[in-house]
């Protein structure tokens, strides 16, 4: 594959990712009612998937400062998605809890994930899925520092 063809193919990856995102947003279960920034979605999604995660672990996982996480957590807390309290085991650590709005967000996210996974399983073989996962892991590694 020559360099120009490889560049066009690589650009096509971006187009396909955007098209996939648009299609799933348009056809999948809705979760845009929550009026969150993309960073707040990322923070809240991590809290949903890892309920025991600490603010320090969130900062590491998202590659941002502890101060940025603190701002996002404050905004999510003020909006009623989460609450923070001191850990009973270690008073220096905050425990994050989903509030009713955060639970609604979690439920919508789970519904969206079920929709996408069901679509994958309906239309792709297990070997297709394995190949796609491997390719996406390589793509992710290309951006890792």
Q: Could you please report the per-residue DSSP string of 43-107? A: HHHHHHH-TT--HHHHHHHHT--HHHHHHHHHHHHHTTSEEEEE-SS-TTSEEEEE-HHHHHHHH
Residues 110-144 pLDDT 10s: 998 999 999 999 999 999 999 999 999 999 999 88
pLDDT of residue 60: 93
- Helices 38-49 and 100-123: crossing angle in degrees, nearest 10, is 80
pLDDT of residue 145: 67
Residues 74-88 pLDDT 10s: 999 999 999 988 877
Residues in the chain, how many? 145
pLDDT of residue 68: 94
Please give the average per-residue pLDDT across 63-83, as a whole number. Answer: 95
Mean pLDDT of the chain: 89
Residue 108 has pLDDT above 70, yes or no: yes
Spell out the domains of the chain, with CATH numbers in brackets: 34-143 (1.10.10.10)
């Amino acid at each position: 594959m020559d360099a120009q063809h490889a560049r066009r193919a690589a650009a096509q990856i971006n187009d396909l990712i955007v098209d996939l995102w648009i299609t799933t947003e348009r056809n999948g279960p809705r979760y845009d009612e929550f009026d969150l920034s993309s960073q707040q979605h990322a923070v809240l999604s991590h809290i949903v998937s890892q309920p025991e995660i600490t603010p320090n672990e969130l900062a590491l996982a998202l590659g941002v400062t502890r101060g940025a996480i603190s701002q996002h957590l404050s905004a999510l807390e003020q909006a009623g998605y989460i609450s923070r309290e001191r850990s009973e085991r270690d008073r220096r650590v905050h425990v994050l809890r989903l509030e009713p709005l955060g639970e609604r967000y979690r439920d919508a996210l789970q519904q969206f994930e079920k929709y996408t996974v069901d679509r994958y399983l309906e239309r792709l073989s297990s070997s297709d899925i394995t190949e796609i996962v491997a390719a996406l892991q390589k793509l992710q590694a290309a951006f890792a520092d």
